[in-house]
A and B are shown apart, each in its own frame.
Chain A
Amino acid sequence: MKTNEEIKAAIEAAVPGAGVEIINNPSPSAQHSLLLQRETAFAVAQFLRDDAELAFDYLSNVTGVDWLDKEIVEKVKVKKTVTKTVDGVEQQVEETVDETRKHVEPGYLETVYHLYSMAKKHGPLILRLRTANRTDQVELPSFTPIWRSAEFQEREIFDLYGIVYTGHPDLRRILMWEGFKDHPMRKDYVEPDDFEYEPTAHDAVLKRAQEHQAKAASAQNGGAA
């Protein structure tokens, strides 16, 4: 199989302005992936399937990932002019001071596709797609028109993460019921407070059960008073 760099070059030659970015995986698995742009992803996917040499005719897996807003703290050395009294004389002295800077990297929702080629017997090629943010701009192009196997998996991600796939023929919830409002696999999902009976609770569950009991007790006292 071509390397990711070669595939990237092939994509950029075939789809102008594709803007593919290689994301390296530093872990021992070393499964490097290609990050696609939302606007051109559909054309790129079509190319990957139809290209005679690549021929990725099999989409084996579609996954969702939820990346929360990340607060990054860095220490920066800054040069500053400070007024100081040196040897009884007031002077302007340049000093390097350590400064901690914080900035928030906005979170996003991500879809990961694993592609294989049955014809050429190679793979996997890993594609990533990212939404603009986690709240209101959660649209991504659907790959269902290209690989039918994406249909149920994209529905599942829509259900559990709330990514909206434009171009999906039948985007409905698949595991949870119609009328359910939350997306349970998001990291900020708050599960319903049904911890009234936890006979063998420990760790996080114990904490939730104790919170529930405290709430129930205060509600009872409030009702009595």
Chain B
Amino acid sequence: MAVDENLKIEMGKQGVFVTTLQELYNWGRRSSVWPMNFGLACCAIEMIATTMARYDLARFGAEVFRPSPRQADLMIISGTVTKKMAPQVVRLYNQMGEPRYVIAMGACAISGGPFKQGYNVLKGIDRYIPVDVHIPGCPPRPEALLDAFITLQKKIDAQSLTGENRPRHLNPEGQGEFPVPEQGEHDLEPPSNTLVWPAPMVIR
């Protein structure tokens, strides 16, 4: 249910503030996205720079880095996800309370990056957990992380409380827990979660 924009402006001039529950709810959610306090590789340095005074992530309500997954809303995968680390990352994601979001920061987190053909690097964290925003770059500049953050806020703003578009935590059938891969004899088992990541078609 949307309020007519013009009506809203007119009433605002009269000192009456009109909104919808959905707008209020999403405004609250997007203005206090608390990221989880963890870094994986060099991208984490750029993430730290983003939170400092020069770039000031606090302007977007995300300055509170929580050291516990229970209190965090956003997971910034900042760096290379090794196959040794991947189960722990998925487990941390499982431990986060809904609503939760994921930003895959940098070439490594989205595809394995320069280490893609390595024996110990996961070819993108989106093989195991759903990623909301991907940022390319090696590493991405703080501006890129801010841009990803604004993109995420827009995405949260566009979510409706009911219907097809509703976020996962308002959907009783939404998946809550994602299987943690096992460290097998030759590779992670399974090598990817096909429900989250059906291998995209490549047309040559």
CB < 8 Å A-B pair total: 42
Interface of B, helix, strand, loop or mixed by DSSP: loop
| Distance to closest chain A CB from B44 (angstroms) | 20
Q: CB-defined interface of A191-210 with B at 8 Å, one 1/0 digit per residue?
A: 11010111100000100010
CB distance A181 to B202 under 8 Å? Answer: no
Stretch binding the partner chain, chosen from A48-56, A85-93, A132-140, A171-179: A171-179
* A179 and B202 contacting across the interface, CB-CB below 8 Å: no
Select B120's contact among A184, A199, A205, beta carbons within 8 Å.
Answer: A184
Interface residues on A, range: 10 to 19
Given contacts A181-B186, A192-B187, A194-B191, contact A175 B84 (CB under 8 A): yes
CA–CA, A192 to B202, complex, Å?
20
Which residues in A have their C-beta under 8 angstroms from that of B199?
A: 196-197
User: With A182-B186, A192-B186, A199-B202 in contact, is A176–B191 under 8 Å at CB?
Assistant: no
B5 within 8 A of partner (CB) = no
Q: Which one of A181, A184, A189, A197 has the highest number of Cβ atoms from chain B below 10 Å of its Cβ? A: A197
Give CA–CA (A131, B186) in the complex, Å: 25
B200 at the interface (CB under 8 A from A): yes
Q: Does B153 contact A (CB under 8 A)?
A: no
Q: Which residues of A contact B117 (CB under 8 A)?
A: 191, 205
Nearest-CB distance from B30 to chain A (Å)? 31
Contact B185 A177 (CB under 8 A): no
CB-CB nearest in chain A for B194: A196
A interface, by DSSP: helix, strand, loop or mixed? loop
| A205 CA / B116 CA spacing, docked (Å) | 10
* Neighbouring B residues of A184 by C-beta, 8 Å: 119-120
Residues of B within 8 A of A179 (CB): 183-185
From B84, B119, B192, B200, A177 is in contact (CB under 8 Å) with B84
The chain B residues found within 8 Å of chain A, CB to CB, are 83-84, 117, 119-120, 123, 183-187, 191-192, 199-200, 202
